[in-house]
């Protein structure tokens, strides 16, 4: 691994106009990181990465690098891009536990973070560094949100999230697991108890439904529920997965690892919506792909489809009238998810859009002064790095808000 990473670092051209950095949603200082690493200062390289992106260790594993940093590397135009993700992971993994994070003296102000996913962790780190006392509330028992309960261990080892938990505790962040705000405790209780500002990063945990007959049958499940605890399911030998996004690939690969003999993904369109790498890995693991299939029903025997026809340009030209029954022991629906509504329903003045996403301005301010939000609960199901990039902006806005209260 180390030799590979060194070889990759030596391939970097240290471009004056680094396209790799432009391709990164969080503008990671990639050439500077690589130069520090090559110069023998891995600690500086690691500090640089964490300073720019507190979730760099996670992002190095789960980002869609082929479309971001590596997809923009100039070497990739005529050959193989520098494997930036491997370099970032090696540095971040090596340095993370010994990182010394400088924090300003405590300023006597408390911040509540609702949700322990990537957005919430980012806010907690950044505001703790600014001197705020942060408490994280999360409905689940373990830290990480979608990282813990939505990404398989073979893509993101859960030991990494335990390391983040320890790092937060070392910083003085308090964590209240199994505490869903909007039930026994509500946002008004947090305000009463002196939290100067409140951040909402509760993610999207409500599966989107197909709206077809048979969706409530005992052999039908939702991807977000399955990935949270695959060991709780007995799916049988034949499994049909409806959808072809990244979560569908995670489902298919997890199902195969849990013993299913035939796993098939179905999509109405002509191509996978997942990243090329994730799609390739699913195929290598043994998953089959069926395109041009519109689901119309699910029976005790499995899903029922109509076949969609396309011309050479990919435009739909017809749809069959004859139904096709596919035989499967279980069907897993993976067509994205939306937010739950507990917070909106229990918080007067907190407004959401028609699809349930919280309404905010460009800096994460919700419709209640002092309450901010970012991540999937605002943007919908997006990537980890997008959640972190947005949360950096929101953390700054929260800091400015709390400072402005001093001046009044």
| Helix, strand or coil, per DSSP, at residue 262 | strand
Q: With bands split at pLDDT 50, 70 and 90, how would you rate the model's confidence at 1?
A: very low
Q: Is residue 312 part of a domain?
A: yes
Last-in-domain residue among 335, 357, 372: 335
Domains in the chain, number: 3
Tell me the mean pLDDT in the region 145-158.
95
Query: Do residues 287 and 363 share a domain?
Result: no
Longest CA–CA span in the chain (Å) reads: 70
Query: Do residues 331 and 216 share a domain?
Result: yes
Q: Is residue 314 part of a domain?
A: yes
Contact present, 295 and 303 (Cβ < 8 Å): yes
Q: With bands split at pLDDT 50, 70 and 90, how would you rate the model's confidence at 85?
A: very high
Query: Do residues 34 and 179 share a domain?
Result: no
Query: Do residues 33 and 134 share a domain?
Result: no
Query: Do residues 194 and 216 share a domain?
Result: no
Q: What is the CATH number of the domain that holds 28?
A: 1.10.1060.10
Residue 367 has pLDDT above 60, yes or no: yes
Tell me the mean pLDDT in the region 19-35.
95
Helices 158-171/118-129 angle, 10° precision: 30
Its domain, for residue 302, covers 209-335
pLDDT at res. 407: 62
Tell me the mean pLDDT in the region 105-125.
96
Query: Do residues 275 and 363 share a domain?
Result: no
Q: Which of 61, 66, 53 is nearest to 26 (CA)?
A: 53
Tell me the mean pLDDT in the region 33-43.
95
Tell me the whole-structure pTM to 2 decimals: 0.93
Q: What is the CATH number of the domain that holds 123?
A: 3.50.50.60
Q: Which helix H or strand E contains 299, and what residues bound it? A: strand 293-299
pLDDT at res. 406: 72
Q: Is residue 79 part of a domain?
A: yes
The per-residue b/e assignment along 205-234, b for 16 or more CB within 10 angstroms, e otherwise, is bebbebebebeeeebbbbbbbbbeebeebe
What Å distances lie between residue 174 and 34, 44, 233, CA to CA? 34, 28, 33
Q: Is residue 30 part of a domain?
A: yes
Q: What is the DSSP string of 112-162?
A: EEE--SHHHHHHHHHHHHTT-EEEEE-SSSSTTTHHHHTS-TTTS-HHHHH
pLDDT at res. 408: 57
Task: Specify burial of residue 362 (Cβ count, 10 A radius: 0-12, 13-18, 19+).
Answer: exposed
Q: For the segment 215-258, what is each residue's pLDDT rounded down to a tens digit?
A: 999 999 999 999 999 999 999 999 999 999 999 999 999 999 99
- Cβ–Cβ contacts within 10 Å for residue 192, how many? 9
Query: Do residues 146 and 30 share a domain?
Result: no
Q: With bands split at pLDDT 50, 70 and 90, how would you rate the model's confidence at 4?
A: confident
Q: For the chain, state the CA radius of gyration.
A: 23
Q: Which helix H or strand E contains 305, and what residues bound it? A: strand 302-310
Last-in-domain residue among 319, 335, 351: 335
Query: Do residues 202 and 342 share a domain?
Result: yes
Query: Do residues 142 and 260 share a domain?
Result: no
Q: Which of 47, 34, 55 is nearest to 100 (CA)?
A: 47
Contact present, 152 and 285 (Cβ < 8 Å): no
Long-range CB pairs of 282-291, under 8 A, 24+ apart, other chains included = 282/249, 282/252, 282/253, 285/252, 285/253, 285/256, 285/257, 286/256, 287/241, 287/249, 287/252, 287/253, 287/256, 287/263, 288/262, 288/263, 288/264, 289/244, 289/264, 289/265, 290/264, 290/265, 290/266, 291/267
Last-in-domain residue among 308, 335, 362: 335
Query: Do residues 92 and 149 share a domain?
Result: no
Q: Which two tokens stand for residue 268?
A: 């109405």
What Å distances lie between residue 394 and 110, 140, 165, CA to CA? 16, 24, 22
Q: Is residue 104 part of a domain?
A: no
Q: Is residue 105 part of a domain?
A: no
> CA–CA separation, 318 vs 320, rounded Å?
7
Tell me the mean pLDDT in the region 171-190.
95
Query: Do residues 289 and 223 share a domain?
Result: yes
Query: Do residues 64 and 164 share a domain?
Result: no
Q: Which of 233, 191, 182, 205 is nearest to 347 (CA)?
A: 182
Residue 328 has pLDDT above 70, yes or no: yes
Percent above pLDDT 70 for the chain: 99
Q: Is residue 103 part of a domain?
A: no
Q: Is residue 82 part of a domain?
A: yes
pLDDT at res. 338: 78
pLDDT at res. 306: 96
Find the range with the poorest average confidence among 43-47, 174-178, 274-278. 274-278
């Amino acid at each position: 691994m180390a030799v590979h990473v060194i070889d990759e670092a030596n391939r970097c051209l240290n471009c004056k106009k680094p396209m790799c950095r432009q391709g990164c949603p969080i503008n990671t200082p990639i050439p500077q990181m690589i130069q520090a690493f090559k110069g023998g200062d891995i600690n500086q390289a690691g500090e640089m990465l964490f300073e720019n992106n507190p979730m760099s260790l996670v992002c190095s594993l789960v980002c869609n690098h082929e479309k971001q940093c590596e997809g923009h590397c100039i070497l990739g135009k005529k050959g193989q891009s520098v494997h930036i993700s491997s370099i970032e992971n090696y540095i971040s993994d090596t340095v993370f536990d010994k990182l010394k994070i400088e924090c300003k003296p405590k300023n006597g102000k408390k911040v509540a973070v609702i949700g322990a996913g990537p957005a919430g962790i980012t806010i907690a780190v950044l505001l703790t560094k600014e001197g705020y006392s942060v408490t994280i509330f999360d409905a689940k028992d373990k830290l990480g949100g979608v990282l813990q309960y939505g990404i398989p261990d073979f893509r993101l080892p859960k030991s990494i999230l335990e390391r983040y938990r320890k790092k937060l505790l070392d910083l003085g962040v308090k964590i209240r697991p199994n505490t869903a705000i909007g039930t026994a405790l509500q946002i008004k209780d947090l305000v009463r108890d002196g939290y100067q500002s409140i951040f909402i990063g509760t993610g999207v945990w409500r599966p989107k439904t197909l709206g077809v007959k048979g969706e409530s049958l005992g052999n039908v499940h939702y991807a977000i529920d399955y990935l949270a605890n695959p060991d709780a399911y007995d799916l049988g030998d034949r499994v049909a997965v409806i959808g072809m996004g990244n979560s569908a690939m995670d489902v298919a690969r997890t199902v195969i690892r849990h013993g299913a003999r035939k796993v098939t993904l179905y999509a109405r369109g002509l191509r996978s919506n997942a990243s090329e790498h994730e799609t390739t890995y699913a195929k290598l693991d043994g998953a089959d792909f069926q395109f041009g299939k519109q689901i119309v029903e699910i029976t005790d025997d499995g899903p029922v489809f109509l076949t969609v026809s396309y011309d050479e340009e990919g435009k739909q030209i017809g749809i069959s009238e004859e139904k096709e029954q596919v035989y499967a022991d279980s069907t897993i629906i993976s067509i994205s998810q939306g937010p739950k509504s507990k917070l909106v329903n229990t918080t007067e003045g907190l407004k959401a859009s028609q699809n349930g996403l919280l309404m905010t301005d460009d800096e994460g301010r919700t419709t209640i002064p002092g309450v901010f939000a970012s991540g999937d609960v605002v943007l919908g199901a997006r990537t980890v790095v997008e959640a972190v990039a947005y949360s950096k902006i929101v953390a700054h806005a929260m800091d400015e808000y709390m400072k402005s209260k001093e001046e009044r």
